[in-house]
Structures are given as structure tokens and as C-alpha cells.
């Protein structure tokens, strides 16, 4: 039967992945303030700036020192030259980033960094000229050492950040590296030639020897072998492959030699789609990231305001020579570097962990909904049950058709489908040695399928459709079958039910633990199914689910999601085409990896292994991710909350004034804490 919740799986074109394209992007670059920062460039700028900083520090008066360690005639001008090189060379990435932010009228951390080092540079140039050209008394202290150390710290911080993001996002490269670099192509004469993977095209015939990685998605056209798909699908057991079965690029062939026909190329491959999901999740802004950006933006105005107030207050109470360094100190230490790292590092780490666990986030906002999650709505077949249907009973309900004819007709209609219910019917027909031929059939959304055989139109429908249309059946007989946990499919001809098939399914081993975990976390599990009420009740009772709704059409499921949303946040778990509207509607949509393309595209999260236990992992990962985000926001923002007033001199009356160097050290420490805190995330 074609149950409404169990729509047939749509075929997916698979092909090889473009290795070069997949390794580009975040492998060595990262976006900041509209400016693409290059990993190698940052590393080089850091080391050059650091080397120039060493002699600059030796020739500068710093941290209260009366005289520098190294002083000679003209040393001030040498310091100014070194400081100028560091400012323009080392500071270039921040200038570009600030330009992007100001162009977008969204000043944030890059603007703050630029403002801090610019103020320090301009003030220091003024001090060198005032001291060495005009010989002012008392001499004006320069900030070249603060400028140099700040640029070094910022470059180092961004280098650390990019390293962390690259390490956290390494799942992308791991996925790309699953594919071999070349393939054995068979030409029309049967000759085998080794070709580069990017030269493989749709329709090519490839030879895959025992132990080799399968280079592209396709179907087996010759040979038989057991294939290890664990690295691709997460399924640890070997999968037997024979003629006409699908294979995925990146999986490992067993002992047998097979020949495959490539079914697609480029971006349609399974691995390419997985990689795009991971990239999309890593590139997409979450609500908390937007909050962090807003905080950084507010900090720009707050720092500017505090600097102006501090300058005026110190100028009025002391003198200009004291007021300027205070204002400069405020602007220098206001850089929200840790705040800028707070969320991206956590999300990058979380996304990587999720990918390795078989949790592919298409929208990472979903993670932030978990803490307030109240309901978990879930499909039955394929989600809570194995979906491995076996025909328990079948028969004719018309005097014009025999039982065998009913099975033959249904098998012919279902022959082109890989849906578990369809597979169960065709297997039974083969076991009974009933010859059937594949005919053109098409899905009827939320109903089943239709097709034509020898000029007669047929439907295969669910009990819900039969009940809705008021078609005549022996309810007592089928209620008894359904109460035993069987899923029913009806064959309809000319608006009359002429046959049926009853199939049994098994509950997934991890399903009970999932329900128990949800209940222990205060989340109410609700089963939504297109199956009959008796079968739904049997599964619900075994799993401990007290709320369930049966014989639902797709529209009914979506309405159920909306109804529960009126009372709290809702997670929907499903795998069929009919689940797509519900998955899209829910606050968190979770698609089973073995489900249809439509369901996967509608979901926020895809479970590659199709294992209910992964939902438990997702809940744990989400809660820990949210906790880390909150901690990092406090570390990033908390530093500025404390440092800015101290830099402005609020404790000056008691003899404490925060120096730029100490402020820079605290800022660096805050950045390191945020990075370490993010990288300690694990499940």
C-alpha cells in the first residue's frame, strides 16, 4: 500500500564530487566585515609585524619605564618608521574590513580595531614630531608599542580564529577526500583506461575492483559485491550490491569486482549534497550570531561615547597630555575581538561534531530552539519502525479477480518504487512466483499511487483514503488485521476496492530509548501517521507514546504541527514526501536520511544514519552548543563591560588606572578563553 505518510522515495541522481571546488572557500579564507581574509596572508603579516615589533619595543619607553632599553640619537624616528610599517602593513586587513562595515553602515569589531590603531598611530606620530621637532616640555608619550602589540595580538587572534574554524570545519575536507582521484573507465571495445575523476561523465561505464573506493554514484550493470557504505551513510553493515542496485561515490567495494554506470555528474552527487549542507550550515548566520554582531555594533558607539566623555573629563580636571592617552586607551581596548569569535567558533565546532555524528544541519538556528522545545511530533514508518515490510496477508475483494491477480496487479504498479511497502509487495510476488511487469505509475500526493494496466486505471491507497471516499470494505475484518500492527493497502478499480495487502513492520531498537529520553527531558512525543488507527495504537503502546493521530493526510499533519505550535515549540521528524509541509512548518524539522529528497530539502536537520538515537545526540549537542554560546557571549561582552570603565579612569580616585598594555593583555586573554571554551565542546 501507499500510505499517505509513506510516500514513495523519489529517485536521486548521484555523481562524483568536484574535489577542487569543495576544498575551496573556508579551507583558507574567512569573511570579516565584508572582507575576505586569507589564511596565508594573515600568517605572513603576523610574523612580519612581530619581527618588526621586537626592535620597536626595545627602543620604546613602556610599562612605566623612564628610558627604553635601547636608545640612540634618532631612535624615536626609527620607532616611528617601524610603527608606520606595522600600522599600514599589519593593519591592512582591518582597514578593509572596516571599510566593508562602514559601507554597509554597520560598524562593528573591524571598525573598532581600525579606530583603536588609527588613534594610537596618529597620536604617536604627533608625539614624535612634538618631541623631536618642536621640543615641547614636558615631552609627549607615544603609543607605538601599544599600536604594535595591538596589531600583533589582533593578527594572532584572527590567525587562531581561522585555524580553529578550519579545524572545526574539517568535516568538509574529510567528505571530499572519500572520493578517489581517478577511475577505471571502460570504453566501447571493453578496454579499461585510468582517467581523472573530473573527466568522468554521466553514462560512463566504470570498473571497480575489490577493495577500491567507488569513484562516482551510479548503478551496478555487471558483477556482484558487498559494499561498505559506512563512511557515506553511517551504516556499518555491508550492503550487498548486484545488477541494477545503486552505489554511492566514496563507499568502499568489497571483494567482488563490479561495473557501474555513472548516473550523474557535478553537484547532484550524494557527497556533494552532504557537503553543501555542511557549508550552508557553517555560512549561515544564527540568531545568536546576529545578537553578537549587534552587541559589537553597540560597543562601537559606547566606546566612542566613553572615549569622548573620558577625554573631556580628564582634560577639564587635569590637562590635554593626560586626557589624550586616556581616550586612546579606551578606544584601543574596546576592540570586541573575543565577542566576534564567541559564536562563530562554537557553531563551527558544533557543525563539525554534528557532521561526524551523522547530523547534517541545514539551518543551525534549529539548535537554539531545543532549550524551549515542548513537543516532538514524529512519523511512524521509517522513523520509529524499520520500514522493512513483509506481506502477512493479501487477497481479492472482487469475484472477478483471484488473490494472485490482485498481488500481480499491485506488484506491477509498485515495481518502479523503492519504498518499503512497495518492496514488500514485489518480494511477495516473486516468492509466490507470480510474474509481473513494471508499468507506468505516478504518485498521488497524500493518497498513494495510480497507474494503468491493459487500459484499466488502478489506485493503491491507504485506509484513510478508503474511509474519506466512503468506499465499501469489511471493516471488521480489516480492523482485526490492523489491530495486529499491520499496515493495509487497498487496490481500487473503477472506484471500487477490489483487493488488499496487509504488511507487518518492526519497531527500531533505538525508538524506545528515544521516547524515554524525550519524556525525561519534559518533551511530549506525539506520533502522526497515515496508517490505520489500530496499527498506530499498537506501536504507540509498545513505545510508551500516549498521544498519537492516525490516518492523516499531509494537510492534516501540517495542521497538527500548527496546532501544537500554539502551545509551544515543535520538532517534527519524518521521511516521506507527505512529511515535507510539516517539516517546513515545524520549529525544528528533522528528516530521516533514507527518506525522500523533498523531505530532506524541507528539513532543518538530516539524520544520515536514519537512527532515532541520533535525535538524542542532536538534543545533547544543541543544549551544549547553546550553553557554550551563552558562556562565550559573556566572556566576550563581559571583558568590555569591565575594561571600558577602567580604561576611562573610573578608579583613578583610588589610584588605579588601566594601561593600554594591560588592556591589550586582558583582551588577548579573553580571546584565548573564548577559543578554548569553544573547542572543548563535545558530546
Contacts of 568 (CB under 8 A, 6+ apart): 372, 373, 374, 375
Catalytic residue among 217, 379, 531, 556: 379
Q: Which helix (H) or strand (E) holds 503?
A: strand 496-504
Burial of 351 (0-12, 13-18, 19+ CB in 10 A): buried
What sections of 337-471 are H helices per DSSP?
337-356, 403-414, 420-431, 463-469
Query: Are 614 and 359 a contacting pair, CB within 8 Å?
Result: yes
Phi then psi for 292, rounded to 5 degrees? -60, -40
Cell of 644: 571600558
End-to-end CA, the chain: 40
Cell of 548: 498519537
Query: Are 397 and 499 a contacting pair, CB within 8 Å?
Result: yes
* Number of CB atoms found within 10 A of residue 470's CB: 6
Give Cα separations from 613 to 40, 354, 357, 517 (angstroms): 41, 13, 11, 10
454 is catalytic: no
Radius of gyration of the chain (CA): 33
Query: Are 464 and 553 a contacting pair, CB within 8 Å?
Result: yes
Sheet order of strands, 246-247 included: 192-196, 182-186, 205-208, 258-262, 218-222, 246-247
Strand 225-228 relative to strand 182-186, pairing:
unpaired
Query: Are 545 and 525 a contacting pair, CB within 8 Å?
Result: yes
Q: Is the bond into 20 cis (omega within 30 degrees of 0)?
A: no
Q: Over the range 449-458, which residues count as b (16 or more CB within 10 Å of their CB) and which as e?
A: bbbebeeeeb
Q: Over the range 262-288, which residues count as b (16 or more CB within 10 Å of their CB) and which as e?
A: bbbbeebbbbbbbbbbbbebbeeebeb
Give Cα separations from 682 to 269, 615, 619 (angstroms): 30, 16, 13
Alpha-carbon span 227 to 178, nearest angstrom:
14
What sections of 284-336 are H helices per DSSP?
287-317, 320-333
Give Cα separations from 21 to 6, 171, 176, 180, 250 (angstroms): 36, 15, 10, 15, 17
Alpha-carbon span 192 to 269, nearest angstrom:
24
Catalytic residue set = 379
Amino acid at each position: 500500500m501507499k500510505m499517505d505518510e509513506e510516500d514513495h522515495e523519489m529517485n536521486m541522481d548521484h555523481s562524483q564530487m568536484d574535489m577542487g571546488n569543495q576544498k575551496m572557500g573556508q579551507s583558507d579564507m574567512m569573511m570579516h566585515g565584508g572582507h575576505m581574509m586569507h589564511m596565508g596572508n594573515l600568517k605572513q603579516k603576523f610574523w612580519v609585524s612581530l619581527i618588526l615589533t621586537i626592535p620597536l619595543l626595545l627602543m620604546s619607553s613602556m610599562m612605566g619605564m623612564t628610558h627604553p632599553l635601547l636608545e640612540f640619537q634618532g631612535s624615536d624616528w626609527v620607532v616611528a618608521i617601524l610603527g608606520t610599517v606595522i600600522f599600514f602593513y599589519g593593519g591592512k586587513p582591518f582597514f578593509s574590513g572596516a571599510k566593508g562595515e562602514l559601507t554597509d553602515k554597520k560598524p562593528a569589531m573591524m571598525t573598532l580595531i581600525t579606530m583603536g590603531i588609527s588613534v594610537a598611530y596618529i597620536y604617536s606620530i604627533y608625539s614624535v614630531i612634538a618631541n623631536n621637532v618642536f621640543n615641547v616640555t614636558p615631552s609627549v608619550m607615544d603609543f607605538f608599542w601599544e599600536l604594535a602589540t595591538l596589531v600583533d595580538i589582533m593578527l594572532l587572534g584572527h590567525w587562531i580564529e581561522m585555524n580553529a574554524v578550519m579545524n572545526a570545519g574539517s568535516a568538509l575536507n574529510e567528505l571530499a577526500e572519500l572520493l578517489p582521484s581517478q577511475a577505471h573507465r571502460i570504453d566501447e571495445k571493453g578496454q579499461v583506461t585510468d582517467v581523472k575523476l573530473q573527466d568522468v561523465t554521466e553514462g560512463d561505464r566504470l570498473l571497480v575492483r575489490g577493495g577500491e573506493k567507488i569513484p562516482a554514484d551510479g548503478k551496478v550493470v555487471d558483477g556482484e559485491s558487498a559494499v561498505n557504505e559506512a563512511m557515506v551513510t553511517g551504516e556499518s553493515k555491508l550492503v550487498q550490491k548486484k545488477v541494477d542496485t545503486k552505489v554511492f561515490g566514496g563507499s568502499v567495494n568489497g571483494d567482488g569486482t563490479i561495473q557501474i554506470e555513472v548516473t550523474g555528474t557535478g553537484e547532484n552527487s550524494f557527497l556533494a549534497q552532504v557537503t553543501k549542507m555542511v557549508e550552508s550550515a557553517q555560512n549561515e548566520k544564527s540568531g545568536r550570531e546576529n545578537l553578537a554582531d549587534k552587541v559589537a555594533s553597540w560597543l562601537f558607539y559606547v566606546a566612542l561615547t566613553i572615549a569622548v566623555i573620558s577625554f573631556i573629563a580628564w582634560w577639564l580636571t587635569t590637562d590635554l597630555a593626560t586626557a589624550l592617552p586616556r581616550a586612546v586607551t579606551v578606544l584601543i581596548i574596546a576592540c570586541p575581538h573575543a565577542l566576534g569569535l564567541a559564536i562563530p567558533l562554537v557553531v563551527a565546532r558544533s557543525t563539525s561534531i554534528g557532521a561526524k555524528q551523522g547530523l547534517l544541519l541545514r539551518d543551525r538556528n534549529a539548535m537554539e530552539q531545543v532549550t524551549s522545545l515542548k513537543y516532538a511530533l514524529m512519523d511512524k514508518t521509517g522513523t520509529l519502525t524499520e520500514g522493512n515490510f513483509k506481506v502477512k496477508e493479501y487477497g481479492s475483494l472482487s469475484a472477478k479477480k483471484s488473490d494472485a491477480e490482485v498481488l500481480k496487479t499491485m506488484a506491477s504498479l509498485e515495481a518502479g518504487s523503492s519504498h518499503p511497502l512497495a518492496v514488500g509487495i514485489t518480494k511477495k510476488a516473486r516468492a509466490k512466483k507470480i510474474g509481473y511487469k513494471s508499468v507506468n505509475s505516478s504518485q498521488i500526493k497524500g493518497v498513494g499511487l495510480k497507474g494503468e494496466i491493459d487500459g484499466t486505471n488502478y489506485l493503491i491507497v491507504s485506509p484513510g483514503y478508503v474511509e474519506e471516499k466512503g468506499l465499501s470494505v469489511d471493516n471488521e475484518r480489516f480492523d482485526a488485521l490492523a489491530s495486529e500492527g499491520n499496515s493495509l493497502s487497498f487496490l481500487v478499480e473503477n472506484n471500487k476496492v477490489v483487493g488488499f495487502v496487509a504488511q507487518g513492520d518492526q519497531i527500531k531498537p533505538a525508538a524506545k530509548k528515544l521516547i524515554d529520553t524525550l519524556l525525561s527531558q519534559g518533551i511530549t512525543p506525539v506520533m502522526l501517521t497515515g496508517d490505520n488507527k489500530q496499527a498506530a495504537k499498537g506501536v504507540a503502546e509498545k513505545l510508551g507514546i500516549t498521544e498519537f493521530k492516525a490516518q492523516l493526510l499531509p494537510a492534516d499533519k501540517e495542521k497538527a504541527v500548527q496546532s501544537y505550535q500554539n502551545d509551544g515549540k515543535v520538532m517534527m521528524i519524518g521521511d516521506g514526501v507527505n512529511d515535507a509541509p510539516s517539516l517546513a512548518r515545524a520549529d525544528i524539522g528533522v528528516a530521516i536520511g533514507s527518506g525522500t529528497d523533498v523531505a530532506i530539502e524541507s528539513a532543518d536537520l538530516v539524520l544520515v544514519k536514519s537512527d532515532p538515537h541520533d535525535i538524542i545526540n542532536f538534543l545533547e549537542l544543541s543544549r551544549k552548543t547553546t550553553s557554550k554560546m551563552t558562556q562565550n557571549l559573556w566572556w566576550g561582552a563581559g571583558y568590555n563591560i569591565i575594561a571600558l570603565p577602567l580604561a576611562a579612569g573610573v578608579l583613578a580616585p583610588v589610584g588605579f588606572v588601566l594601561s593600554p598594555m594591560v588592556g591589550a593583555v586582558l583582551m588577548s586573554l579573553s580571546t584565548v578563553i573564548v577559543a578554548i571554551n569553544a573547542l572543548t565542546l563535545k558530546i
